[in-house]
Amino acid sequence: AGSMRVVLGDQCARDLASLRDLDPARDTVLMMEVQAECTYVPHHPQKIVLFLSAMRHFARALSARGVRVDYIRLDDPANTQSFTGEVQRAARRHRPVRIVATHPGEWRVLQGMEGWQDATGVPVEIREDTRFFCPLPRFRAWAARRKQYRMEFFYREMRRETGLLMEGDDPVGGQWNYDAENRAALPKGLVPPAPLRFAPDDITREVIALVAERFGAHFGDVAGFAWPVTAKEARAALDDFIRQRLPSFGGYQDAMAVGQPTLFHALIAPSLNIGLLDPMEACRAAEDAWRAGRAPLNAVEGFVRQILGWREYVRGLYWHLMPGYAAENALGADRPLPAFYWGAATSMRCIEQAVAQTRFLAYAHHIQRLMVTGNFALLAGLAPAEVNAWYLAVYADAVEWVELPNTHGMAIHADGGVMASKPYAASGAYINRMSDYCVGCAHDPKQATGPRACPFNALYWDFIARHAERFATNPRMAMPLRSLAKMDPRKRAALRAEAARFLATLDA
Ligand code: DLZ
Ligand code: SF4
């Protein structure tokens, strides 16, 4: 007998660690579609289609190369519908001498995996996920040497190590970071080139029907699914981005516009996170575009920083800080998630736009996630567990290693500042500056009280006041705290009353 190689839904990569040294004559690859993974949060139907269709395509590609794949389908009557149950059943079928897996992307799954040896009586080897630049032990060593985990320093080490955008020991262009050039609003009338869409093939159409039937009640439209589901499609999507949108990606990275759900963004996170696209390949393609004079450095550096810096950093932190991290609630937030996160009507146009596109694309870009839905959750004090479950459910790219730090740490400050030295709290003025959402909104970003007040304004001051004591020692919060202290007490009271009135209208 040979070994059993386990491949999970977000591990559809040809050079996956658990497929290394595979012996096609003796070994079997196990892939499992299971109900438990489709429902532990109510995933957006497009997210489920993406995972299952990518899995089916990947299994087909492995088989075509002569690899024996034991593929358990969701509608197989014998399916126990959980990873551990299926690994147990498969171990009885194949009687492997060992089970080889790749480190999963979620703590919950790792815990289950660590029980497979007891469940099957077969030794289990869990291999480092080599799709990432930074092995977890290396990140832990980096983090152990520091009191504060600053992405920027980690990122510079990764640049030096990989040689990406380096000229010897120096960053190309003489600067590590060009973010200051990346904050323009979208000029009126500028329409970004539409991203490539991939029409569903027979396999995807079959999965769409299955998902519509079983998970049709989950938030999100399954019609319109157009994500890459193979490595070839993912590569085409990357090339299209590099040619069409990368040159303008930098400047408009933080912009938001009505009816422009994707702007100049790459839309490659779902492909990267499930293994269809190699992070180094993406970074090299962008670097090549710069070296060939086809894209400016601020855009290319910003893109590389997201992948080589930010993505690796949040993954390292997740595994360094779990399981305690998810349970933290530094700001004592406990309000239930309002119904408009699931598509109920709201008069706030920014929220309505972000949620509507999430419904039909399973996608919103980082500033929408951070500064619209995330900022609202922060200011209104929404319960972290509910906020995290929402982000994990609704975005096609959401695997917990990336979703949790971005939401819990960056957006809602539930970790008390482990990731971000100050909360990303903003009033309506920020949204008004970075978008055209406010133009057609029932609210006025310049008003803080009264019938047309923008809720973000009173909520912002209420948030600062609620947490004044906690932030008193944070130099980066000195400005808003000073403004609050200088404010006419009657105005302060009116803002807090406005916030309380608004919060009372939220229905879960
Ligand atoms: C997200 C997801 C879904 C919807 N379905 C499956 C599945 O049926 N089989 C599978 O192997 N993985 C699935 N996943 C991904 C897992 O929930 C989880 O994110 C990864 O296994 C973490 O490595
Ligand atoms: Fe959002 Fe306020 Fe602008 Fe309306 S006015 S879009 S609620 S920021």
Q: Which of 259, 294, 321 is the last residue of a domain?
A: 321
Q: How far apart are CA 36 and CA 433, in angstroms?
A: 43
**Residues 6+ away with beta carbon under 8 Å from 464:** 425, 471, 477, 480, 481, 484
Using CB distances shorter than 6 Å, the residues near ligand 2 are 348-350, 428, 431-432, 437-438, 441, 443, 445, 454-456
Tell whether 365 and 309 lie within a shared domain: no
Residue identifier of the C-alpha nearest atom 2 of ligand 2: 454
- How far does the centroid of ligand 2 lie from the alpha carbon of residue 165, in Å? 39
40 near 108, Cβ under 8 Å? yes
Tell whether 488 and 345 lie within a shared domain: yes
Q: Considering every ligand atom, which ligand is closest to the CA of 368?
A: 2
Decide if 200 is inside a domain: no
381 near 435, Cβ under 8 Å? no
pLDDT at residue number 17: 98
pLDDT tens-digit readout, 10-43: 999 999 999 999 999 999 999 999 999 999 999 9
Q: Which of 86, 101, 127 is the last residue of a domain?
A: 127
Q: State the average pLDDT over residues 449-469.
A: 97
- Out of 33, 34, 37, give the residue to mutate to test ligand 1, the one with the largest number of ligand atoms within 8 Å of its CB: 37
Q: How far apart are CA 471 and CA 464, in angstroms?
A: 8
Tell whether 308 and 380 lie within a shared domain: no
Ligand 1 closest atom vs CA 43: 4
Q: How far apart are CA 427 and CA 430, in angstroms?
A: 6
Residue identifier of the C-alpha nearest atom 3 of ligand 2: 438
Q: How far apart are CA 16 and CA 18, in angstroms?
A: 6
- How far does the centroid of ligand 2 lie from the alpha carbon of residue 75, in Å? 45
- Out of 258, 349, 430, 459, give the residue to mutate to test ligand 2, the one with the largest number of ligand atoms within 8 Å of its CB: 349
- pLDDT above 70 for 508: no
Supply 447's token pair: 């008003």
Ligand 2 closest atom vs CA 431: 8
- Residue 173: DSSP 8-state: G
Q: How buried is residue 320: exposed, middle or buried, by Cβ count under 10 Å (0-12/13-18/19+)?
A: middle
Decide if 218 is inside a domain: no
pLDDT at residue number 445: 98
**Which DSSP helix (H) or strand (E) runs through 171?**
strand 170-171
Tell whether 469 and 404 lie within a shared domain: yes
- Residue 181: DSSP 8-state: G
Residue identifier of the C-alpha nearest atom 1 of ligand 2: 350
Decide if 392 is inside a domain: yes
Give bridge partners of residue 29 from the DSSP assignment.
Answer: 5, 69
- Out of 29, 51, 111, 397, give the residue to mutate to test ligand 1, the one with the largest number of ligand atoms within 8 Å of its CB: 51
Helices (H), 228-311: 231-244, 246-249, 269-274, 279-291, 297-304
Ligand 1 closest atom vs CA 400: 19
Tell whether 260 and 152 lie within a shared domain: yes
What is the DSSP pairing of strand 166-167 with strand 170-171?
antiparallel
Decide if 383 is inside a domain: yes
CATH code where residue 110 lies: 3.40.50.620
pLDDT at residue number 390: 98
Ligand 1 closest atom vs CA 105: 23
Decide if 73 is inside a domain: yes
pLDDT tens-digit readout, 491-502: 999 999 999 999
Give bridge partners of residue 170 from the DSSP assignment.
Answer: 167
More confident site: 478 or 182: 478
Tell whether 116 and 181 lie within a shared domain: no
Tell whether 354 and 500 lie within a shared domain: yes
- What is the SS3 assignment for 30? strand
**Residues 6+ away with beta carbon under 8 Å from 65:** 24
Residue among 227, 207, 267 nearest 59 (CA): 207
Prediction ipTM score: 0.98
The total domain count for the chain is 3
Helices (H), 65-179: 83-94, 107-113, 116-120, 136-144, 151-162
What does the mean pLDDT of the chain come to? 96
43 lines ligand 1 (CB under 6 A): yes
Tell whether 304 and 445 lie within a shared domain: no
CATH code where residue 479 lies: 1.10.579.10
Tell whether 291 and 376 lie within a shared domain: no
461 lines ligand 1 (CB under 6 A): no
Tell whether 346 and 278 lie within a shared domain: no
423 lines ligand 1 (CB under 6 A): no
| CA 83 from centroid of its chain's CA atoms | 23
Ligand 1 closest atom vs CA 35: 8
Tell whether 113 and 160 lie within a shared domain: no
Residue identifier of the C-alpha nearest atom 10 of ligand 1: 9
| CA 435 from centroid of its chain's CA atoms | 22
- Cα–Cα distances (Å) from 342 to 45, 333, 356, 391, 394, in that order, read 13, 20, 9, 11, 9
Residue identifier of the C-alpha nearest atom 15 of ligand 1: 9
Supply 186's token pair: 């979208």
pLDDT tens-digit readout, 318-372: 999 999 999 999 999 999 999 999 999 999 999 999 999 999 999 999 999 999 9
Amino acid at 305: R
Residue identifier of the C-alpha nearest atom 8 of ligand 2: 428
CATH code where residue 290 lies: 1.25.40.80
pLDDT at residue number 298: 93
Q: How far apart are CA 102 and CA 81, in angstroms?
A: 20
- How far does the centroid of ligand 2 lie from the alpha carbon of residue 367, in Å? 15
- How far does the centroid of ligand 1 lie from the alpha carbon of residue 152, in Å? 31
**Which DSSP helix (H) or strand (E) runs through 69?**
strand 69-72
Decide if 215 is inside a domain: no
Decide if 207 is inside a domain: no
More confident site: 324 or 251: 324
Give the structural domain span for 252. 136-195+245-321
Decide if 379 is inside a domain: yes
Residue among 452, 315, 427 nearest 371 (CA): 427
pLDDT tens-digit readout, 138-173: 999 999 988 889 899 999 999 999 999 999 999 999
What is the DSSP pairing of strand 3-6 with strand 28-32?
parallel
Tell whether 145 and 282 lie within a shared domain: yes
pLDDT at residue number 148: 85
- How far does the centroid of ligand 1 lie from the alpha carbon of residue 8, in Å? 6
- How far does the centroid of ligand 2 lie from the alpha carbon of residue 241, in Å? 30
- pLDDT above 80 for 177: yes
3 near 27, Cβ under 8 Å? yes
Confidence of residue 187 (pLDDT cuts 50, 70, 90): confident
124 near 116, Cβ under 8 Å? yes
Q: What percent of the chain has pLDDT over 90?
A: 94
Confidence of residue 181 (pLDDT cuts 50, 70, 90): confident
323 near 109, Cβ under 8 Å? no
- Order of strands, sheet of 69-72, starting from the edge strand that comes earlier in the sequence: 69-72, 28-32, 3-6, 98-102, 124-127
Q: Considering every ligand atom, which ligand is closest to the CA of 502?
A: 2
Q: Which of 259, 286, 321 is the last residue of a domain?
A: 321
